[in-house]
Structure 1
Amino acid sequence: MEYIAILMFVVVCFVLLLGYPVALSLAGTALIFAGAGIATGYFEPAFLNAFPSRLFGVVNNQTLLAVPLFVFMGAMLERAKIAENLLTTMSILFGRFPGGLAIAVTFVGMLLAASTGIVGATVVTMGLLSLPTMLKRGYNTSFSTGIICATGTLGQIIPPSIALVLLGDVLSSAYQKAQLSMGIFNPETVSVGDLFAGAVVPGMILVLMYIAYSFFLAKIKPDFAPAASAQDAQSDITTSLLKQTLSALVPPLLLIFAVLGSILLGFATPTEAAGVGAMGATLLAAWQRQLSKINLKAVMDSTLKITSMVFLILIGASLFSLVFRGFGGEELVQSVFEQMPGGVIGATLIVMLVIFLLGFILDFIEITFVVVPIVAPVLLAMGLDPIWLGIMIAINLQTSFLTPPFGFALFYLRGVAPKTVATSAIYKGVIPFIIMQLILLGVLAIWPALITWLPAQIYN
């Protein structure tokens, strides 16, 4: 009977590949298998009776309230043209140096990731704003597209990230389940703040790796990342450069500090901080004179659509996981992991490989709600640190979103890049950044304290 659960997982992946909506695919596949199981006596209907209480837990979850607020914050900042002003100013500051424009793109991408937390929005925005400028300045096409895709995916790991909010909620339940399976009652859970704190150091390391690569590439191959011409550099210089820099840089930095700092310093929960961020983004839009009725309506429409998608997928995934458990899928996964050669190391490697491959066809939301609840309790019961596991999963997904030929970030950029930019150039450009992220995963596996040290300092 356990192998019916595996068949159900394979079927839902196949249905998703056919292009059907994710939430309906998850719920529909689960109901079909549950109905067939009840008819044949292989499925206990009592599992479906637990669905209303689980659904109530979803809609009553205080942590998940942060999702619409962070989405609103990102959409409002996008409408306020914060990224456009930042990129213009940073280009003026760094563009006259070899590789300077790429460094500016990385810096702005980092701030945009910390502001929006949405990979697609960051890649599209950076692609529209920076790619034409980089190509005009003579930057290599592959390098330009690679740095834009890579910085766009920083939204997965740079807090406050929506991916980390969802992972924190799922890992909290998985951690409690793992503790109960070992006969331990521990009221402590994995908070979103823990994951935010754990992501700070790896996120900064990744940004520094991108900047270092841009700098050394410009030194080794000056034609790949040339400095602005003397004429362009002179035309960029204005008497109010300092004022322009402060005007573009300080407001988003203050907003990020208010949101992330309040969480890390313990002044606010992630949900409360998300409310501060949404209000702060609205005030920034008003300060930029972009808070029009049209923009506000567009932001609210975007927030409604994205939030509805997230929660509908969560409901479908909850039903899928119930039916998966009813067919004994969790016991099968646990048995396979325990018998796997290499113990916890071998099991972790297999899970990371599966998540990496699933990242080609599923978004992080589906993987977080479907795959993580299945594998995380088993891995946590085997002794893994939940914060370390969450950050490793986030970086792993970030890497899969960059990997050709199915990486989501590549599709996002392809959709907004000029027709003169070949798809092969985009694929070629992301390879060095994929290698850097794999190196980071290896470093974090060897030195897990890079993830766990900061949360321990803040929350202990």
Structure 2
Amino acid sequence: MTDPQVALAMLGVFILFVFLGFPIAFTLMAMGIGVGYYAFFEPNRMWRAYNRLTEDAGTWEQISNYVGGFFNNRVFDLLVNQTYTVMSNEVLTAIPLFLFMGYIVERANIVDKLFDTLNIAAKNAPGSMGVAALITCALFATATGIVGAVVTLMGLLALPAMLKARYSPSFASGIICAGGTLGIMIPPSILLIVYAAASNVSIVRLYAGALLPGLTLVGLYLVYVIGRAILQPSVAPKPSKDEIPDMPAIKVIYLIITSFVPLAVLIFAVLGSILFGLATPTEAASIGALGGMALAVAYRAMTWQRLRESVYLTLRTTAMVCWLFVGSYIFSSVFSYLGGEHVISEFVQGLDLTPLQFLIMAQLIIFLLGWPLEWSEIIIIFVPIFLPLLALFDISPLFFGILVALNLQTSFLTPPMAMSAYYLKGIAPPSVKLTQIFAGCMPFLFCVLIAMVLMYVFPQIVFYLPEVFYGP
């Protein structure tokens, strides 16, 4: 086999192992080191070590020389260097801090107060409880960025209330599943931090570029929820006075100030300090982590046990992301050294695609990868394969990254591997069927597709804020 054929076989075997359920980070490292040993192997060096051993076989010194010759392969230098590169990456430093902020906020008992307040404030709007649930999901998802936590918590809090208010089970389920995924798109998004580290695109420009598309997607969701409630009132009946009693305006304002405003201020303080250049993402994440702790204390939800849980979950998730980066860097370095990237580039160029056709092909592949894989694995392992091809089609890496972030919303909502649906089914009442949850997610998939089309037709949705804040 030629070196490029070995590289392609390496990629194929890795995909096979993924479907067999092997741990992805360690599979990447094992394959990278194993194939890399072949790629960087120098026979003369091993032969000299073997000769030294056979000249005086049996002495510890000669055995040591032989073993040293075995490990004297550049793939082990690659492993050490790539591990150090990942662990010293300043962009990735923001990940544990944002994660800690999210886990603390999740445990601060903010969401139940926020949902109740928004439900009261929006009671005269069509589909008021759905609107309240969606806005709560958007804020909570933005603050945490943890899809499973948002869907699970909102499923425990909002789904029973919506079912009690005679909402259609599929409609209510779709709102929670779709709203819970918004955190991977809307800044401060951990997905965008990981993409920035993988693509060398400025994280602040990514945050600025993702803001309007994220808000556009929230707007499309709200239009669908309100429009469906108007056109089909049976799926979202108006609440009676017994379910949501009238309340003086001053009390509603007080509830908003004490529940909605603190979390919104925390999010906008973190995001604003990044966009206006007042702090780096890492510094802003530090502010967010401290602000999350302050909120937990203010809501009397800070306990030693919750703090320990937050630290533990933060460390576990951060370690997973960092080892994925280490494995991916080793794997991609060996893949590129053997000529795999060159083969893929030549193949794509031979297809004679237009930029639009390339974007559709790339997004379709990422969409399909979203079924068996998590977003972190897609961003770290597979997106870098497309990055060198962007220059061939004159596509901005920033624009491509925002498209990918939008596309990965669908991976949580698309049957048969819609993780949001499974998160919700795990805590939903037995009367709510998985097929109903899938049916409720489908209209939101079309909203995501509309948002992607709008981005392509009107690219200034992505580029406007980065150009305003940081220039062309």
Corresponding position of 2:111:
83
In structure 1, C-alpha distance between the alignment counterparts of 2:391 and 2:445, rounded to whole Å: 27
Q: Once structures 1 and 2 are overlaid, which stretch shifts more, 125-134 or 236-245?
A: 236-245
Identity %: 37
Return the letter of the residue paired with 1:166. V
Q: Is the 8 A contact 1:96 1:233 kept in 2?
A: no
Could you list the runs of 5+ residues in structure 2 that have no partner in the other structure?
44-71
Corresponding position of 2:346:
335
The DSSP-based 3-state class of the residue aligned with 1:418 is: coil
Shift of 1:238: 8.9
Corresponding position of 1:65:
93
Q: Which has the larger radius of gyration?
A: 2
Q: Once structures 1 and 2 are overlaid, which stretch shifts more, 428-437 or 18-27?
A: 18-27
Shift of 1:236: 6.8
Return the letter of the residue paired with 2:91. T
Is 1:445 the counterpart of 2:447 in the alignment?
no
Corresponding position of 1:129:
157
Corresponding position of 1:400:
411
Corresponding position of 1:310:
321
Corresponding position of 1:31:
33
In structure 2, C-alpha distance between the alignment counterparts of 1:436 and 1:402, rounded to whole Å: 12
Q: Is the 8 A contact 1:347 1:379 kept in 2?
A: no
Corresponding position of 1:242:
253
Corresponding position of 2:376:
365
Is 1:412 the counterpart of 2:423 in the alignment?
yes
Return the letter of the residue paired with 1:388. F
Given candidates 144, 148, 168, the residue that maps to 1:116 is 144
Q: Is the 8 A contact 1:47 1:322 kept in 2?
A: no
Return the letter of the residue paired with 1:333. I
Shift of 1:239: 7.0
In structure 2, C-alpha distance between the alignment counterparts of 1:363 and 1:236, rounded to whole Å: 44
In structure 1, C-alpha distance between the alignment counterparts of 2:281 and 2:41, rounded to whole Å: 45
Q: Is the 8 A contact 2:79 2:330 kept in 1?
A: yes
1:177-196, aligned counterparts within 5 Å? 190-196=201-207
TM-score computed with the length of structure 1 as normaliser:
0.91
Shift of 1:5: 2.2
In structure 2, C-alpha distance between the alignment counterparts of 1:47 and 1:350, rounded to whole Å: 33
Q: Once structures 1 and 2 are overlaid, which stretch shifts more, 379-388 or 280-289?
A: 379-388
Q: Once structures 1 and 2 are overlaid, which stretch shifts more, 333-342 or 222-231?
A: 333-342
Shift of 1:395: 0.5
- Alignment deviations for residues 63-83 of structure 1 (CA, whole Å, 9 cap, x no partner): 111000000000000010122
Q: Once structures 1 and 2 are overlaid, which stretch shifts more, 416-425 or 373-382?
A: 373-382
In structure 2, C-alpha distance between the alignment counterparts of 1:101 and 1:10, rounded to whole Å: 47
Q: Cα gap change, 1:47/1:108 in structure 2, threshold over 3 Å: closer, same or farther?
A: same
Return the letter of the residue paired with 2:26. L
Q: Is the 8 A contact 1:51 1:322 kept in 2?
A: no
Given candidates 239, 261, 266, the residue that maps to 2:272 is 261
Given candidates 150, 163, 173, the residue that maps to 1:145 is 173
In structure 1, C-alpha distance between the alignment counterparts of 2:245 and 2:77, rounded to whole Å: 71
Corresponding position of 1:9:
11
Corresponding position of 2:23:
21
1:204-243, aligned counterparts within 5 Å? 204-234=215-245, 240-243=251-254
Shift of 1:240: 2.9
Return the letter of the residue paired with 1:298. E
In structure 2, C-alpha distance between the alignment counterparts of 1:29 and 1:354, rounded to whole Å: 23
Q: Cα gap change, 1:380/1:20 in structure 2, threshold over 3 Å: closer, same or farther?
A: same
In structure 2, C-alpha distance between the alignment counterparts of 1:22 and 1:207, rounded to whole Å: 32
The DSSP-based 3-state class of the residue aligned with 1:297 is: helix
Return the letter of the residue paired with 2:407. N
Shift of 1:394: 0.6
- Alignment deviations for residues 219-264 of structure 1 (CA, whole Å, 9 cap, x no partner): 1111101111221122777973321221001111111111000011
In structure 2, C-alpha distance between the alignment counterparts of 1:292 and 1:362, rounded to whole Å: 35
Q: Cα gap change, 1:269/1:239 in structure 2, threshold over 3 Å: closer, same or farther?
A: closer
Q: Cα gap change, 1:345/1:49 in structure 2, threshold over 3 Å: closer, same or farther?
A: farther
Q: Is the 8 A contact 2:119 2:129 kept in 1?
A: yes
Shift of 1:377: 1.9
In structure 2, C-alpha distance between the alignment counterparts of 1:428 and 1:236, rounded to whole Å: 36
Q: Cα gap change, 1:451/1:421 in structure 2, threshold over 3 Å: closer, same or farther?
A: same
In structure 2, C-alpha distance between the alignment counterparts of 1:259 and 1:150, rounded to whole Å: 24
Shift of 1:318: 1.5
In structure 1, C-alpha distance between the alignment counterparts of 2:334 and 2:42, rounded to whole Å: 15
Shift of 1:446: 1.6
Corresponding position of 1:176:
none
In structure 2, C-alpha distance between the alignment counterparts of 1:170 and 1:38, rounded to whole Å: 24
Corresponding position of 2:102:
74
Displaced runs of 4+ in structure 1, greater than 6 A? 38-41, 235-239
Q: Cα gap change, 1:110/1:249 in structure 2, threshold over 3 Å: closer, same or farther?
A: same
Return the letter of the residue paired with 2:170. S
Shift of 1:381: 4.6
Shift of 1:357: 0.5
Shift of 1:392: 0.4
Given candidates 424, 432, 456, the residue that maps to 2:443 is 432
In structure 1, C-alpha distance between the alignment counterparts of 2:37 and 2:169, rounded to whole Å: 53
Q: Once structures 1 and 2 are overlaid, which stretch shifts more, 236-245 or 400-409?
A: 236-245
Q: Cα gap change, 1:56/1:71 in structure 2, threshold over 3 Å: closer, same or farther?
A: same
- Alignment deviations for residues 112-159 of structure 1 (CA, whole Å, 9 cap, x no partner): 122011222222222121111111111111111111111111011110
- Alignment deviations for residues 89-124 of structure 1 (CA, whole Å, 9 cap, x no partner): 111222454301111111111111220112222222
1:294-309, aligned counterparts within 5 Å? 294-309=305-320
Shift of 1:326: 2.5
Shift of 1:423: 0.7
Is 1:156 the counterpart of 2:184 in the alignment?
yes
In structure 2, C-alpha distance between the alignment counterparts of 1:34 and 1:165, rounded to whole Å: 28
Corresponding position of 2:332:
321
Shift of 1:402: 1.1
RMSD: 2.0
In structure 1, C-alpha distance between the alignment counterparts of 2:354 and 2:466, rounded to whole Å: 27
Return the letter of the residue paired with 1:231. D
Is 1:53 the counterpart of 2:81 in the alignment?
yes
What is the aligned length? 441
In structure 1, C-alpha distance between the alignment counterparts of 2:365 and 2:211, rounded to whole Å: 25
Shift of 1:20: 2.2
Is 1:199 the counterpart of 2:174 in the alignment?
no
